[in-house]
Structure 1
Amino acid sequence: MSNGLQMDSVTYGSLLSVCASHKECNEAAKYFQKMKDEGHSANVYHYSSLLNAYSADKNYEKAEAVIEEMRSAGLVLNKVIYTTLLKVYVKGGLFEKSKELLKELEALGYAKDEMPFCLLMDGLAKSGHLLEAKSVFDEMMEKQVKTDGYSYSIMISAFCRSGLLEDAKKLASEFEEKYDKYDIVILNAMLSAYCRAGKMENVMSMMKKMDDSAISPDWNTFNILIRYFCKEKLYLLAYRTMEDMHSKGHQPEEGLCSSLIYHLGKTGAHSEAFSVYNMLRCTKRTISNALHENILHILIAGRLLKDAYVVVKDNAGFISQPAIKKFSVNFMRSGNVNLINDVMNAMHSSGHKIDQELFDLAIARYIAKPEKKELLLWLLKWMPGKGYAIDSSTRNLILKNSHLFGHQLIAESLSKHLVMSKKVKLHKENAR
């Protein structure tokens, strides 16, 4: 290591384990070689971690080389090593080799529980060899291999993926009768199948079974349900489910959120759409530019202009100028009058050039509310300092109502605008 600290075999073992868990096959191989180069002996744990890395990379040739090296070193190949090698074969699609190795595991007494069978079964099922997967399952049942239900979960999921709902239901009933329990994997598999088939009654039944069994829904459960409710156009139910998902600490996908936001907006559930947007923001993930603009249009349509202001203030750089203009016109016309100056300042700070129409609308709002005198005077003072000036028609309107705000204060403010107007006019002429 660059800092001069000595690495021991335990440290190397930890590094190999981390590399394997992150599927860093090449890094694992480098650390393993470096460990040997430094004179440390590799034990079964080191080899097991290296094999795990190769299983992620589906590199059965390197895995077999590791096995030969272990044999040459006189190391005993235990259950973990054989099972990891089986995983490499399965992930590489080498099912004949996998079946042979499983027989070897059985002969050695290393296949008394379901895990080796499940590895092969899952690999076969996901590769489209459903009948072969079921054959392994039946063989396992016939041999009365100890199971905690994982094998049932694999087959139920496989049947569901293939659209064989009745087979999935039959196997789930068999599992329930045999073990008097469900687990989250089986429930999710069944739930997914019922959702794909559009069987609302069964979906509700599975959810009740989850409650009765005191099984907490996981990320997959919520994801299945939200997609289903959206497909059935039950958007508020999908929203409530996403609320529950968020409250339990699960992070929804951006794509799912975007879809739900769009549909909620179309059905007039504007505040619910904004709530989903905020849930997504809480995940601290980067949100697509389009989503900021979409939620802005939804908030404008719902007259939720204060919330729209927050979106613009925080994300103006990601929103198109036409969308910002649409927001600002709507806000000047009917937004909270107390926030008009804040909106003006935020827009200017974000690089948006404020046009005369917006100033006209804002000043007209203030003139209609003489009690907002201080806000009008602030705006009139702020404008020249930022390079803005009101036009002659707006100046005349203010003068006409100057008695409401104080003749002297108005006169002082307008004189500055007159100076700024001349500067702007001169600048335009010189630019020609």
Structure 2
Amino acid sequence: MAAIATASVSSPLTTIAPGAAHPRHLSTAISSAASLSHLKQIHAQIFRNNLHRSNSLLLDFVLSSLPFSSDYALAVFFNIHNPEPHLCNKLLRKLSRSREPRKALLVFGALRKKGFSVDRFGFPPLLKAASNALALVEGREIHGLGCKLGYDSDPFVQTALLGMYASCGLIPEARRVFDKMSYRDVVTWDIMIDGYCESGLFDDALSLLEEMKSSGVETDERIFTTILSSCARARNLAVGKQIHNFVSENGITIDSQLQTALVNMYASCGSMDVAQSLYDELSPKNVVASTAMLFGYSKVGQIEAARLIFDRMASRDLVCWSAMISGYAESDQPQEALKLFNEMQAASRIKPDQVAMLSVISASANLGALDQAKHIHMFIKKNGFEEDLRINNALIDMYGKCGSLDGAIGVFDRMHRKNVISWTSMINAFAMHGDANNALLLFNQMKHEKVEPNGVTFLGLLYACSHAGLVEEGQKMFSSMVNEYGLVPKHEHYGCMVDLYGRANLLKEALKVIETMPMAPNVVIWGSLMAACRIHGEFELGEFAAKQILVLEPDHSGAHVLLSNIYAKERRWGNVREVRKLMTLNDISKEQGCSKIEINQEIHEFLTADRSHKRADEIYAKLDIVVDKLKEAGYAPDTSSVLLDLDEDEKKDAILWHSEKLAFCYGLMNSERGSSIRIIKNLRVCEDCHNFMKLASRVFDRKIVMRDRTRFHQYADGLCSCKDFW
């Protein structure tokens, strides 16, 4: 028999001489493969030398090697003329546990076509594959074949059947299998209880738990961990507490895994006091429990407590970094979110995933700083996220909220694949910038591309029409939404229609919408009417709308402020004092005006009449210069919006010290002539500041981009993109 010759040290290739067919020699050659590439070279020689029966040895080795290549394993398998049952079962088992369990079902289909039979050991992995792939049709077919071959009474097949039906959400079928089982171990009870929990049938799960206890089967910690995890996902605190009590009353040992599940359940349900006490007892603290605490504190708005947990963690994985970044982003602290993201890059080698990047993009969008947004986009390109659909959709939203329509359009146009969210995000970006015409054109293009709009799409379109005063187009959009697409309008859509009519000074039509809508108007609906009344000076109807809001939400600051302003307009100072007194007694405060400006990737924040900035004296000196130059060009402070009982000079100071004016002056001090100044304002811009910015854009030759609470204003050469309709 010819010997097996090995290649020199310089080459990893093992060569097989013709006729070297002894299984031991072949096994040695195959097992010597150091990589998949090396194994394929040996495979090529096997094929060249017509040693086909060694494919079984080759497949056995491929199935045992790491990393596992399902494609290569299948290529080898389908070259075996008559595969042995144990190899078929091994392949099915491996594929069923892989990331592509459907491939096991494809092998099953191919074997049946070739007339090969599957023995009872092949059914559990096949059912496992159907379970993991949620392939109910194939699972039922396998079940039928198993019954036909008499394998349905096999305990392993029954357990796999139970798992398949439970995973696919067919709980009644799973229960029928469970009830027919002659032998039930702790695993089968666990599967059935888990199936009930995953389907939200917690009462059935608890009942089965009691039945398990009375049947004599000893419960283990895994079952309770399973139920508690489901309670955490469903935010079902009541059942979670019952499980906690069951564990305590039955003297079940609480190991670290079960303790972690309890922490996670209470934290997910917002019961942070109990979660904290359980977390304090956990020693050592693990990443899973710590991350659950981060999520829990973030969701109840205790971001400082979350950060304290984060800072004390001995080790941090990507999930906990993402949780903390997301916590800041969702707690309206975008600067902290971006700062922490930068710390993650500097302090660890952890690469962010899609979830982390979505939080970072959201933070950047909320911050509204264009330079930061561009920096994030560069990071995305560099790290291979640019083809991700959700990332691109978020980038469109980010650029829109950062005042760069060109940036949003650039992302949209480069996308190879778009969904309804992509189109809707772009429509919303146009709407936010007051570009209703392009929003409507894009909607027509969306229809041409056969993309079905949803309720959010129409919100963007109605918003665009409202802010552009396009009443007729808005009416058509609302009608199309209902009659053409069969979408049921929600409060938000009716709110847009009220806003559409209200902004156009069609207050009777706005009130008619409220009176005829099929559901009770909420605070948002009355708020839209109230805002319109404030704009158009309809104080009687505005007072009525404000009082309706206070019935629904007694602590609504906006309604109190409007009532105070209405009374102030009419110089009813006694009524003003009553409203202000009520606000003080109930600790209701008006939201303070705040403006932000980005200079050299650093965010500077200003409040009204703010002197906390380190360069405050210079800023106020600059403001005096700016005001003098604007007065020369015809500016006169409009004190009509200062509805306080002050003398005229005090009113002028109050209006001139608005936060956006301070931010603008700081921008003038720190940027070159001709460059844009970008400001983010948390409230609606007042009439005086709007006129101030229009005139300043011409006098100082600056493009000023301001995002207020509802939209963008782009001031240039003495004009605003909103055409003074906002």
Please tell me the TM-score bracket, short chain as reference: 0.5 to 0.7
Q: Give the Å deviation of 1:173.
A: 1.9
Q: Gaps spanning 5+ residues in structure 2: where?
A: 1-139, 436-440, 454-726
Tell me if the contact between 1:60 and 1:88 (Cα under 8 Å) persists in the aligned partners. no
Q: Distance in 1 between matches of 2:375 and 2:246?
A: 49
Q: Distance in 2 between matches of 1:20 and 1:43?
A: 17
Matched residue, 2:255: 112
Tell me if the contact between 2:193 and 2:227 (Cα under 8 Å) persists in the aligned partners. yes
Q: Distance in 2 between matches of 1:31 and 1:100?
A: 28
Alignment equivalent of 1:229, drawn from 352, 361, 364: 364
Q: Distance in 1 between matches of 2:167 and 2:381?
A: 32
Q: Gaps spanning 5+ residues in structure 1: where?
A: 302-307, 321-432
Alignment equivalent of 2:160, drawn from 14, 26, 29: 14
Q: Give the Å deviation of 1:11.
A: 3.7
Q: Are 2:339 and 1:194 equivalent residues in the alignment?
A: no
Matched residue, 1:127: 269
Alignment equivalent of 2:242, drawn from 97, 118, 129: 97
Q: Give the Å deviation of 1:51.
A: 0.9
Alignment equivalent of 2:343, drawn from 208, 215, 218: 208
Matched residue, 1:423: none
Alignment equivalent of 1:159, drawn from 297, 301, 323: 297
Say if 1:183 and 1:36 are closer, same or farther in 2 by CA, change over 3 A: same
The secondary structure found in structure 1 opposite 2:350 is coil
The secondary structure found in structure 2 opposite 1:5 is helix
Q: Are 2:219 and 1:74 equivalent residues in the alignment?
A: no
Larger relative contact order (Cα-Cα within 8 Å, sequence gap ≥ 6)? 1
Q: Distance in 2 between matches of 1:76 and 1:249?
A: 51
Matched residue, 1:32: 175
Say if 1:45 and 1:211 are closer, same or farther in 2 by CA, change over 3 A: farther
Tell me if the contact between 1:118 and 1:151 (Cα under 8 Å) persists in the aligned partners. yes
Q: Give the Å deviation of 1:49.
A: 1.1
Tell me if the contact between 1:264 and 1:273 (Cα under 8 Å) persists in the aligned partners. no
Alignment equivalent of 1:240, drawn from 371, 375, 378: 378
Q: Distance in 1 between matches of 2:403 and 2:340?
A: 30
Say if 1:32 and 1:270 are closer, same or farther in 2 by CA, change over 3 A: closer
Tell me if the contact between 2:365 and 2:402 (Cα under 8 Å) persists in the aligned partners. no
Q: Distance in 2 between matches of 1:260 and 1:57?
A: 37
Q: CA RMSD in A?
A: 4.1
Q: Distance in 2 between matches of 1:203 and 1:261?
A: 16
Say if 1:205 and 1:98 are closer, same or farther in 2 by CA, change over 3 A: same
The normalised TM-score by structure 2 is: 0.35
Matched residue, 1:5: 146
Alignment of 1:26-425 (within 5 A): 27-34=170-177, 36-37=179-180, 40-87=182-229, 91=234, 92-94=236-238, 95-104=240-249, 107-109=251-253, 111-113=254-256, 115-138=257-280, 140-141=281-282, 144=283, 146-175=284-313, 179=314, 181-195=315-329, 196-198=331-333, 200=335, 203-233=338-368, 234=370, 235-243=373-381, 247=385, 251-252=389-390, 256=394, 259-260=397-398, 262=400, 266-269=404-407, 272-274=410-412, 277-278=415-416, 280-281=417-418, 316-317=449-450
Q: Distance in 1 between matches of 2:164 and 2:396?
A: 35
Q: Distance in 1 between matches of 2:354 and 2:346?
A: 16
Tell me if the contact between 1:83 and 1:116 (Cα under 8 Å) persists in the aligned partners. yes
Say if 1:206 and 1:254 are closer, same or farther in 2 by CA, change over 3 A: closer
Q: Distance in 2 between matches of 1:152 and 1:131?
A: 14
Q: Give the Å deviation of 1:290.
A: 5.4
Tell me if the contact between 1:155 and 1:168 (Cα under 8 Å) persists in the aligned partners. yes
Tell me if the contact between 1:54 and 1:88 (Cα under 8 Å) persists in the aligned partners. no
Q: Distance in 2 between matches of 1:221 and 1:185?
A: 8
Tell me if the contact between 1:229 and 1:237 (Cα under 8 Å) persists in the aligned partners. no
Q: Distance in 2 between matches of 1:117 and 1:215?
A: 27
Higher helix share: 1
Say if 1:243 and 1:32 are closer, same or farther in 2 by CA, change over 3 A: farther
Tell me if the contact between 2:224 and 2:258 (Cα under 8 Å) persists in the aligned partners. no
- Quick one: which amino acid aligns to residue 103 of structure 1? S
Aligned residues: 291
Tell me if the contact between 2:174 and 2:192 (Cα under 8 Å) persists in the aligned partners. no
Cα deviation 1:77-97 (Å, max 9, x = unaligned): 222223334446665322542
Tell me if the contact between 2:268 and 2:292 (Cα under 8 Å) persists in the aligned partners. no
Q: Give the Å deviation of 1:229.
A: 0.9
Cα deviation 1:29-77 (Å, max 9, x = unaligned): 412313543x553322221111112222343331233223334443222
Q: Give the Å deviation of 1:19.
A: 4.7
